Structures are given as structure tokens and as C-alpha cells.
Amino acid sequence: MDTTSLSFYGAGGDTLGRRGHSKDHRPELAQMILAVVIDAEGRPICTEMVPGNTADVKVLMPIVTRLRTRFGITRSCVVADRGMISAGTIAALEELGMEYILGARERTSNVIRDVVLADTAPMVPLVLERQAGDTQLWVKEVRVGKGADAQRYVVTLNEAEARKDKADRQAIIDGLQTQLKKGDKALVGNSAYRRYLKASGKTFEIDMGKLADEARYDGISVLRTNARITPLQAVIRYRDLLQVEALFRVAKASFDTRPIFHQSDAAIRGHVFVSFLALTLAKELTRLCQEKGLQPEWQPLLNDLDRLQEATIEKDGKVITTRTHVSGQVGNVFKATGIALPANISELPPRT
């Protein structure tokens, strides 16, 4: 499960429209929070819409309850990122006997910072295949505590991300050193700079201890799980969250989920649910096309389908239907779904 925000041009209904952290980068607009749940195959299962000032950490448990009560899903493994996690959430999941793979807060958790990252056991290499090339990871499991109460963590190191993190931090430091020569008062308002500063008398200087501490997290991510799977499986399952992000991009761009102009909760929910149905159909169509070796691009395919039209002509007692010619991948997609296109021209029996 993952969440995004959808902004409104207007108040946003009776309850949904609220000001909050905008993932659309439109803080001046009212918004709502949209959560989407997919299964292990990437198929959308359900969606939830809540007011735009709802914190992510409060969204997960109502959806878990809904999956159990409405859909009758009694055994599942919840995968969610660190923004939805709290001690209360983990306790509630364990009380329900549910498995989970959750992103952990590396910098704010004392257990992770002082125990998990201090573990000296070797890591195991893992190569993940991607369209843009393989991703090289290093993975290991760390258990904190003993017996049934032990907390299980999975630590991953992405060397490419580590190099990027180091380069980004160095760029900030280079800029910081340049600004310090001009005067340090304006730097305090810059959050990227402020995290690496410390007071020295009436002036500021770069905190070398903070730099060293930040380097510990380069390319590092930590998961917490109680699922009965291997560390490698946990990492692969957690990366499936990228599929939800891809769904959000498709819904916002190709399926016109935003902008939203409706003024009632019911109309807004209906508008978003139509997009959810479109995502479900798109996923199934993708599966059918892949079985036939096809990989159509969505926007060109939607444009070609818009041009596929049929007209009925009545003249001299005859009724004739005619359709436009197919273009692009339309013909191949119809074949992949097992649906036959009607003839270009066909004569119907006279109307009585």
C-alpha cells in the first residue's frame, strides 16, 4: 500500500478537501489523500480516500481492517513504507496476527542506529533485474532480542545510491563553505545547510561529527518484518511499492484523475473510483498483451482507441454500419484480448 495526494480546484467536497502536505506540489490548494492497495501481481485491490490533512501513519490500519471485514482477507502480508509506521501500528498488526514488511526510520530509531547498523555480520549480494539495467544490492538480516519477542530487521546497501548520497552531500558542503565565507546568518534558514551546521560562539561552522554520522546511512535502507520469508524475498516484495507509484503516475497523467473540479464528496469519490477501475482494466490488458509479446504505450494506445468509431447510416430502407480503420496497436490489442473487431461495413436487416 502507498498513498498520494490529489488537489482540488475548489473546496473539495464536504469532508475530503483539506490543506496538508501536497505530493502534487500544490500547497495552496485543498487536497485529499488517496491510498491504493495492490496484490503481489500488481493488480489493484482497493482504494481509500481520506481528508487531505490526514497523516500517512493513520491510513494503514483502517485499510487493514477493511480488507479483513469487507473482503474477507484473513491472511496477508502488509507492505508499506516508513511514512505509515509507528509503534502503535506495528503493535496493532501483531495483535491481529498479520505479517508485515515495513520501511524503518533509520535516523530516528535508537535500536536501528545503535544496534542494527552496528552489526558486523557480512552481507550477501543480490542482483535485481530492471529495464534500465541490473541493480546491485547487499543484504543481511539482523535480529534484536531473543525468542518469540525478537525483532527482525533486513538491512540493504545499494552501492550506486551510496555514491549518489555521498556526491549530493559533498555538493551541499561545497555550497555551504562558499556561503560561510560570505557570512553565516542567512544559512540558518536553509534546511539543507542547517543540518550540517553547529554554533561556535557567535558564528556557525560545519559540524564534522554530523558529516561522519550521515555517511553511515549512504545507500542504506532498513526493513522491519515478521513475515516467514527470506531477507531476499522481503527486499523484493518491498520494492513492489514502486508499482504503486507507477500506478499513481498513470492515473494522474494518462487517465485524467486530476485536476478535480467536483464539489461534493460523492462526486469526488465517483471520479476517483472510475480511475481505479481504469487502472484495474489497464493491468489486465497489460497482462493479456504481454502473453502475446506486446508492449503497447498507454497514451498512444488511448489516442488510437479514441479514433476507433462506428456510425450507422439509414437510407432507402437500408441500415448500414461502418467503422473507422484501426491504427497503431489497436488491431493487435484486440487480438490479444480475444475480441473480434466488427467488419468495416455491414448491412443490418431493415428496422420494423
Tell me the per-residue pLDDT of 292-303, one tens digit each, with 9 for 90 and over. Answer: 999 888 888 989
Residue 326 has pLDDT above 70, yes or no: yes
Residue 184 has what pLDDT?
A: 61
Cis before residue 349, ω within 30 degrees of 0? Answer: no
Residue 284 has pLDDT above 80, yes or no: yes
d(Cα 252, Cα 27) in Å, to the nearest integer? 17
Residue 153 has pLDDT above 60, yes or no: yes
Q: What is the mean pLDDT of residues 169-180?
A: 81
Domain 2-161+216-286: which CATH number of 3.90.1150.10, 3.40.50.1860, 3.90.350.10, 2.30.40.10: 3.90.350.10
**More confidently predicted of 244 and 191:** 244
Residue 350 has pLDDT above 80, yes or no: no
d(Cα 154, Cα 144) in Å, to the nearest integer? 11
Residue 208 has what pLDDT?
A: 79
Residue 253 has pLDDT above 90, yes or no: no
Q: What is the mean pLDDT of residues 156-185?
A: 82
**Those residues with Cβ within 8 angstroms of residue 12's Cβ, 6 or more apart along the chain or in another chain:** 18, 30, 31, 32, 52, 260, 268
Nine-digit cell at 99?
Answer: 505479517
Q: Are 11 and 264 in contact (CB under 8 A)?
A: no
Nearest C-alpha neighbor of 301 from the set 226, 247, 250? 250
Q: What is the mean pLDDT of residues 262-273?
A: 91
Q: What is the pLDDT of residues 181-240, one digit of tens each?
A: 766 665 655 666 667 777 776 777 777 778 888 888 899 999 999 998 898 889 988 988
Mean pLDDT of the chain: 86
The lowest-confidence range among 48-52, 72-76, 151-155, 170-174 is 72-76
Q: What is the pLDDT of residues 304-322, one digit of tens each?
A: 999 999 999 888 888 899 9
**This prediction's pTM:** 0.79
The lowest-confidence range among 36-40, 99-103, 130-134, 187-191 is 187-191
**Angle, helices 60-69/87-95, rounded to nearest 10 degrees:** 10
Question: In the chain, where are the structural domains located?
Answer: 2-161+216-286, 162-215, 303-347
d(Cα 272, Cα 258) in Å, to the nearest integer? 9
Residue 171 has what pLDDT?
A: 86
Residue 346 has pLDDT above 90, yes or no: no
Residue 309 has what pLDDT?
A: 92
